[in-house]
A = this chain, B = another copy of it.
Amino acid sequence: MSSQLSTTTATTDLGSQPRYAAIKAYIRAQIESGEWPAHFRVPSENQLAQDFNVSRMTARRALSELTDEGVLIRSQGLGTFVAEPVPAGSLLEVRNIADEVAARGHSYSNRILKLEQTEANTEVAVALGLAEGAAVYHSIIVHLDNDLPIQFEERYTNPTLVPEYLHQNFHAATPNEYLTRVAPLTEVDTTVEAIGADEAVGTALEIKQGTACLQIWRRTKSSAGTVSFARLVHPGNRYRLGAQLRF
């Protein structure tokens, strides 16, 4: 505090990131490394301010933002604590799983199990608003986080709304990335349920049959109609879907 004389009067950093971001990164690192477990009491604002040679308000900002992000829990008079880990984004953010994996600092990859053009059965036809027997793209992809399967994705896409070459290039990125780029989505219908893994899912995700999984049905529509119809399956113990709602 008293040693805070001339050198720094304000000035955004040289490197690039703001100072509060450095503190946030530090705290996140401590938590992710296991150094600071859940319920661990993190240093106080004043302590952090001293350690990082910043003002209390800057240290405070780091703690406050992490609290907003659900990483920490604060309590007046008591202190700041590491929150229960909930490594997941909101329902909306599930869209691009590659980004999500990257955000965790892990490596993303995928395996294409099926990529074909086929005829819509009744269920698919209804979901996509097509006639039964109409041509649709069908794909099954497994998404991996650090080579660990975290999502099984089966998708039916409406070919009248998405050019064929996109389908052929799904492996380059995720289908959603392409789809959102080409056809701006106007509405997403999501249904969440729990299932026991069947044989196909179990094999793809490398888990035992019957293991509890989170299954997300998603129908995405653009202004022109229903674009695609997907079924996303996550192993229950490897994924958490978080949602924060304010009103």
Contacts and interface: CB of A to CB of B under 8 A. Distances in A.
Nearest to A71: B246
A196 interface: yes
A245 B88 contact: yes
A108 interface: no
Interface residues on A, range: 35 or more
Given A210-B210, A214-B214, A240 B191 contact: yes
B129 A190 contact: no
Contacts of A75: 129
A68 B68 contact: yes
Given A126-B73, A194-B194, A213 B214 contact: no
Interface of A: 38-39, 68-70, 73, 75, 78, 81, 83-84, 86, 88, 91-92, 122-123, 126-127, 129, 131, 185-196, 210-215, 234-237, 239-247
